[in-house]
């Protein structure tokens, strides 16, 4: 990484540049750790007091920031500093990553009925089943397993050790990180004659375009019909999605969250870390569920929920305040009961 001021201007297109720096930016660092030659940024207002003393050569700042840079430093004022940093990181990533050459590694176990586009790259020790279709410019990392009748669209990226069970569809530009398992059996059993009998799952699993699945996620195959993840949804590491779940478009599912079977998430739903959604529910579009919350009932659109069981944010906040005072409340009640008892004896 090495960028001069003019190259940064070209990439980030700031609304205003204050100051000037010589040389080149060679690293990215937080405001409190940056040194000369680094680029830093302010995306959260609580860190604004760190800006005046930051040693970075370039700082990306909100367009309404008031202040001047030190000598040989520059402030880039932007509508969204975090987005600008993302654009810069995309450029760095393109420079660092060398796309593999198209072709199939000799160690791949490949069914004779699979269709692989000539522009795709299949890494070492992959196993590709019957009737698989892999589209243009797909990149399949080493040790991936792609089951029978799976279909991958264009520009799909599977990092090493991704597993697709049979009958999975992965649409254009999806990214699946290492250890993700798509299409595994759903958790379905019926009690019969003193034992749990496994229910077969004969459905499919589909990921729409521009979905990203984090490392070690599990998305279950449908018991019937389809488990579906909507376009643009981003799933963090270690997330569990049950059978016959429907996740809408542009949702965010943060690490260790879980969605039980046959639940439907509307477009734009956000699940905080370790949030849990019970089965057979409907969660309205643009709902936000706070971290470690447990949802056990249907929710209307644009709900903001917290706690277990999940309650509207304002109600949950008031209850949390009351909860802190419970020991004192009980002490006062015990004192009153004791006084009342003593007075009644007299």
C-alpha 142: how far from chain center = 23
Measure the CA–CA gap between 298 and 290, rounded to whole angstroms: 16
Catalytic residue among 105, 177, 243, 280: 243
Question: In the numeric block, which tokens belong to residue 185?
Answer: 């059996």
Q: Distances in Å between the alpha carbon of 176 and those of 67, 229, 343?
A: 43, 13, 72
Residue 272 CB coordination number (10 Å):
19
Residue 243 among the catalytic residues:
yes
- Decide: residue 118, CB within 10 A, 0-12 exposed, 13-18 middle, 19+ buried: exposed
Question: Under a CB-based contact definition with an 8 Å cutoff, are residues 143 and 164 in contact?
Answer: no
Q: What is the largest CA-CA distance in the chain?
A: 97
In 43-115, alpha helices (H): 81-96
Query: Residues 6 or more apart from 1 whose CB is under 8 A from it?
Result: 25, 26, 27, 28, 92, 95
Tokens read off for 247: 């996740």
Q: What is the full DSSP assignment across 275-312? A: -EE-SS-EE-TT-EE-TT-EE-S-B-TT-EEETTTTEE
SS3 content of the chain, % helix, strand, coil (to 5): 20, 30, 55
- Say how many residues make up the chain: 346
Residues annotated as catalytic (active site), given as ranges: 243
């Amino acid at each position: 990484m090495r960028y001069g001021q003019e190259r940064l201007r070209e990439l980030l297109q700031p609304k205003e540049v204050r100051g000037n720096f010589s040389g080149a930016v060679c690293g990215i660092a937080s405001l409190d750790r940056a040194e000369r030659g680094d680029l830093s940024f302010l995306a959260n207002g609580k860190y604004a007091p760190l800006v005046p003393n930051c040693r970075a050569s370039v700082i990306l700042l909100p367009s309404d920031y008031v202040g001047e840079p030190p000598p040989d430093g520059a402030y880039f004022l932007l509508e969204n500093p975090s987005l600008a940093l993302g654009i810069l990181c995309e450029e760095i990533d393109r420079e660092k990553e060398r796309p593999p050459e198209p072709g199939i590694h000799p160690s791949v176990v490949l069914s004779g009925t699979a269709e692989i586009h000539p522009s795709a790259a299949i890494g070492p020790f992959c196993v590709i089943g019957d009737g698989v279709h892999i589209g243009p410019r797909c990149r399949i990392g080493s040790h991936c397993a792609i089951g029978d009748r799976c279909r991958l669209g264009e520009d799909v990226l599977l990092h090493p050790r991704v597993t697709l069970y049979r009958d999975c569809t992965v649409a254009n530009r999806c990214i699946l990180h290492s250890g993700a398992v798509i299409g595994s059996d759903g958790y379905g059993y019926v009690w019969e004659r003193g034992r749990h009998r496994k229910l077969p799952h004969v459905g499919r699993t589909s990921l729409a375009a521009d979905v990203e699945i984090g490392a070690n996620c599990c998305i279950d195959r449908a018991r019937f019909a389809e488990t579906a993840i909507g376009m643009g949804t981003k799933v963090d590491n270690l997330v569990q999605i049950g059978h016959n779940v429907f996740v809408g478009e542009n949702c965010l599912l943060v690490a260790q969250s879980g969605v039980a079977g046959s639940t439907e998430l509307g477009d734009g739903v956000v699940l905080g870390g370790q949030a849990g959604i019970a089965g057979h529910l409907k969660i309205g579009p643009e709902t936000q569920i706070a971290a470690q919350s447990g949802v056990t009932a249907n929710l209307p659109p644009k709900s903001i929920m917290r706690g277990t069981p999940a309650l509207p944010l304002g109600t949950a906040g008031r209850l949390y305040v009351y909860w802190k005072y419970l020991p004192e409340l009980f002490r006062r009640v015990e004192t009153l009961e004791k006084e009342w008892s003593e007075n009644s004896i007299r």
